[in-house]
């Protein structure tokens, strides 16, 4: 009888864990406690933070700049769909470049943000990937001037991570080098075809008084 009871309890526990896993995995939305946020690429913030890298390998471009982007979510609830704009980047500042010079084309604001995917170690999120569409930068390095514009089919990709799995509060925004960005301008830019962003930045609320908490709902 004692063995039978143990089997029943084990089955109930397994069912509860399975229900929790299914519920977490099928959650259709993300919730954030903040509507406005700031993304800062600046190595002075300490390891593992870096400047934002603007790279065009074939064109010989490798520029690193301090970059700050100010943005906002449309709602505190974010639907997990890749088709809709979930927020915008409304302002950006760029300074202290190495390896060349760069300019944010401010007339292209606002830039759109679209949810892409998330990874999880149930029941916690471990990372969230977001696409940046409409961002335009001009770079000059070694006499070569290029423009890079993120597009729907070629978005800049940012991965929020570091803290999500423990507190629900991401610490880092990583510019994913797998996001291939079209380059335009001189012949060398056109020949190079694509560039990429790189580097690890800091995520904070606006006006930088605390962290952003993101949870599955």
pLDDT of residue 199: 97
Average the pLDDT over 154-163 and give the result: 96
Q: Are 87 and 101 in contact (CB under 8 A)?
A: no
Read off the pTM: 0.84
Q: Is 160 a residue whose pLDDT tops 90?
A: yes
Q: Are 202 and 208 in contact (CB under 8 A)?
A: no
Q: Which whole-number Å values give the CA distances from 208 to 63, 74, 142, 162, in the listed order?
A: 26, 19, 36, 17
3-state secondary structure 84-139: CCCEEEEEEEEEEEECCEEEECHHHCCEEEEEEEEEEECCEEEEEEEEEECCEEEE
Per DSSP, what are the bridge partners of residue 55? 62, 196
Confidence of residue 29 (pLDDT cuts 50, 70, 90): confident
Model confidence pLDDT, tens digit, residues 100-153? 999 999 999 999 999 999 998 777 789 999 999 999 999 998 888 889 999 999
Q: Concatenated DSSP letters for 34-65?
A: -SEEEEEE-GGG-TT--PEEEEETTTTEEEEE
Confidence of residue 187 (pLDDT cuts 50, 70, 90): low
Model confidence pLDDT, tens digit, residues 39-53? 999 999 999 999 999
Q: Is 25 a residue whose pLDDT tops 70?
A: no
Which uninterrupted H or E stretch holds 4? helix 2-26
pLDDT of residue 190: 61
Taken in order 40, 41, 44, 45, the sign of the CA dihedral is positive
pLDDT of residue 186: 67
d(C-alpha 158, C-alpha 118), whole Å: 11
Cβ-Cβ contacts under 8 Å for 113 (sequence gap 6 or more) = 71, 73, 85, 86, 87, 88, 89, 130, 131, 132, 133
Q: Which of 143, 148, 174 is nearest to 160 (CA)?
A: 174
Q: Is 5 a residue whose pLDDT tops 70?
A: no
Q: Nearest 5 degrees, angle CA 66-CA 213-CA 121?
A: 100
Taken in order 106, 108, 112, 113, the sign of the CA dihedral is negative
pLDDT of residue 153: 93
pLDDT of residue 67: 98
Q: Is 155 a residue whose pLDDT tops 80?
A: yes
Confidence of residue 35 (pLDDT cuts 50, 70, 90): very high
């Amino acid at each position: 009888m004692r063995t039978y009871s143990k089997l029943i309890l084990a089955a109930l526990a397994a069912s509860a864990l399975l229900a929790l896993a299914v519920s977490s995995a099928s959650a259709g939305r993300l919730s954030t406690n903040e509507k406005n946020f700031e993304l800062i690429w600046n190595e002075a913030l300490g390891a593992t933070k870096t400047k934002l890298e603007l790279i065009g390998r074939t064109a010989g471009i490798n520029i690193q700049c301090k970059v700050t982007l100010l943005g906002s979510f449309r709602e505190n609830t974010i639907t997990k769909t890749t088709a809709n704009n979930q927020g915008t980047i409304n302002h950006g500042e760029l300074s202290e470049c190495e390896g060349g010079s760069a300019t944010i084309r401010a007339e292209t604001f606002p830039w759109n943000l679209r949810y892409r995917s998330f990874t999880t170690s149930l029941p916690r999120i471990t990372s969230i990937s977001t696409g940046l569409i409409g961002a335009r930068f001009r770079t000059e390095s070694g006499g070569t001037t290029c423009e890079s514009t993120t597009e729907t089919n070629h978005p800049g990709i940012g991965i929020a991570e570091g803290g999500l799995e423990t507190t629900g509060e991401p610490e880092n925004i990583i510019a994913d080098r797998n996001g291939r960005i079209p380059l335009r301008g001189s012949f060398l830019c056109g020949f190079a075809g694509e560039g990429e962003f790189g580097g690890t930045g800091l995520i904070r609320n606006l006006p930088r008084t605390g962290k952003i908490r993101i949870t599955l709902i």
